[in-house]
Structure 1
Amino acid sequence: MKTFIKIIKVFFTLLFFSFSIIMLYYTALAPKIDRFKLAEEFQGSYLSQTMFDILKMQHPDYSDAYFEQSVAFNKRGDYAKGFELLDKAVDHNPKIHLGYSGWMKLRKLRDYDGALSDFDRLDSLTPNSIDAPWGEDIDFLRGECYFGKKNYHEAIGFLNQSIINQKEDWADVHAFVYLGLCEYELGNYEKSISEFQRALNQSDHVPEAHFGIAKAYQNIGETEKAKEHILKAEENIGSKREDSYDEFLNEIYLNEILDFKQSLEEKPSIKKTTDHQL
């Protein structure tokens, strides 16, 4: 019995020793890229954060380690720690990480000036290419920033440039939606309608465009056309622009569509009452 217990102890000792060697290898000795991929796979875990810390200690200029480690913190909403790491990634490799930094400042923090600063700096570092931070055209994102700042004239300029960059048929449909919203805010209702129509020419299932064009028609007294488009906005609400993590600047909701629809239904009855009284 004592011999069996000794064998068991030796077995578990060897097992623990082997496990320790394996962990040491994968956390501190394996090739840099292999450890990065493993830490990325377990993003946000204690093991992942420890591996990134070791990678940064061994390779202080490894920008991707700072960047990837920041993602878990930003996903949790710990932007102070997330941007502390992301800023270091930008310091080490601005061409690679400025776009994401600007995108995060726009979409997560609503820091429009900070986002514009990052986008403009990135643009200056890549004069011979059109950047696409996090997969979106840089001029579309700059237009969105200026829309958020309520600087509609600047927004229009960048949104039109985005459409030139991507070509009319391939541009982000929300470039046209934002153009319509900008013209609407400037009181240019006829121009607003034509911009929303450009979005609908690309796809008739863009509820933001139908909602915007309905409001523009209502402002120029075209109530029947407004009703037609508000119904389409309601029908296509399932296709609206949305994201699990973010609220977009031009995001719309079913309740506001229904409220506007009701206001359109009430107007004819008010007009009839007025005519009867006259």
Structure 2
Amino acid sequence: MIKWIKRIILGLLSSVLIVILLFVIIKPKPYYVINYLIGSQMQWFGYDKEGNEMIEKSIKKLKNFSASQYHSASVQNTKNGNYNKAIEYLDKASEMEPKEVDGYYGWLLLYYYRDYEKALFHLNRYDAFSPNFVDYPQGDNILFTKALCHKGLGQYNKALDLFDKAILSELEKHDESWISHQIYYQKARTLHLLGEHKKAIEYYDKTIKLWDKSAESFYYKGLAQIEINDSLVGRKNLNIALDLVTKGYKTSDSYVALFDEVYKMEIEKTINDL
């Protein structure tokens, strides 16, 4: 009986020693896979430096590190503000699997980094994979996202052309109520920037028709009206915008500042300066 107990203990000790030998000294492929997963979790809990070090170590040892793994590693780095590292990983992922990564990468470069030229490169390449189909990277009509890039570059006429194409693509299968109010709003802003005030007001109104709590549309509509000397109505719309924002009605995102987003202090200052 004692002999059997000794054998069991020796067997367990041998197993432990083998595990230690494998995972601490030899470190086979499964070790680095586990190391990568633990590093990812550490990032999620806020230990950025330690997590990235573990991920980097795994990348160097795992020769077949996939595009999806690079993509995954980039996401938490973006959320944690480690933008250089996030871009490094996404560059590698998009080089390996552009069809799978470019839509997300282009959208990210547009909204998070405001890198309009690089965003256009990836969005155009992604769009080229399905030329007869309107893609929706991260839920946005790709024609709309490309239009935002051109708007950001000051290429307003090209942006207007793409906003119109985005609207037409939406109307092919749905009525106007299905169109994101942001498409009309951004077309209005582009017209406004071109000095086409009356046309811009028309599209601010279309935006408000789709969402009557669009504080930003009331705000910029009011400014456009004041700029064409319709001050009384313009002031009224600025006050509507202030009331809506005060009540919490405005287009916003938890992670990024949206394009032409408005804020209470901004509206108050505009009203006080009139």
Aligned counterpart for 1:119 among listed residues 113, 119, 123: 123
Aligned counterpart for 2:228 among listed residues 220, 230, 246: 220
Alignment coverage as a number of residue pairs: 247
- Maintained 8 Å contact 1:56/1:65: no
How far 1:87 moved relative to its partner? 1.1
Matched, 1:67 2:67: no
Equivalent-residue separation in structure 2 for 1:230 and 1:17 (angstroms): 72
How far 1:57 moved relative to its partner? 4.6
- Maintained 8 Å contact 1:240/1:252: yes
How far 1:88 moved relative to its partner? 1.2
Counterpart position of 1:187? 195
How far 1:86 moved relative to its partner? 0.8
Equivalent-residue separation in structure 2 for 1:57 and 1:109 (angstroms): 31
- Maintained 8 Å contact 1:213/1:226: yes
Q: Structure 2 stretches of 5 or more lacking a match? A: 1-8
* Structure 1 pair 210–95 and aligned structure 2 pair: CA distance change class (3 A): same
Equivalent-residue separation in structure 1 for 2:122 and 2:219 (angstroms): 32
Counterpart position of 1:275? none
Counterpart position of 1:133? 137
Runs of 4+ in 1 over 6 A off after TM superposition: 34-39
Counterpart position of 1:5? none
Matched, 1:148 2:148: no
Matched AA of 2:147 = G
RMSD: 3.2
- Maintained 8 Å contact 1:163/1:171: yes
Equivalent-residue separation in structure 2 for 1:130 and 1:49 (angstroms): 39
Counterpart position of 1:7? none
Which deviations, in whole Å up to 9, do the C-alpha atoms of 1:218-277 show, x marking residues without a partner?
12222221122112111211222223432223111112211222344xxxxxxxxxxxxx
TM-score normalised by structure 1 residue count: 0.77
TM-score normalised by structure 2 residue count: 0.78
Structure 1 stretch displaced more, 237-246 or 250-259: 237-246
Aligned counterpart for 1:165 among listed residues 164, 169, 186: 169
Counterpart position of 2:6? none
Equivalent-residue separation in structure 2 for 1:162 and 1:61 (angstroms): 37
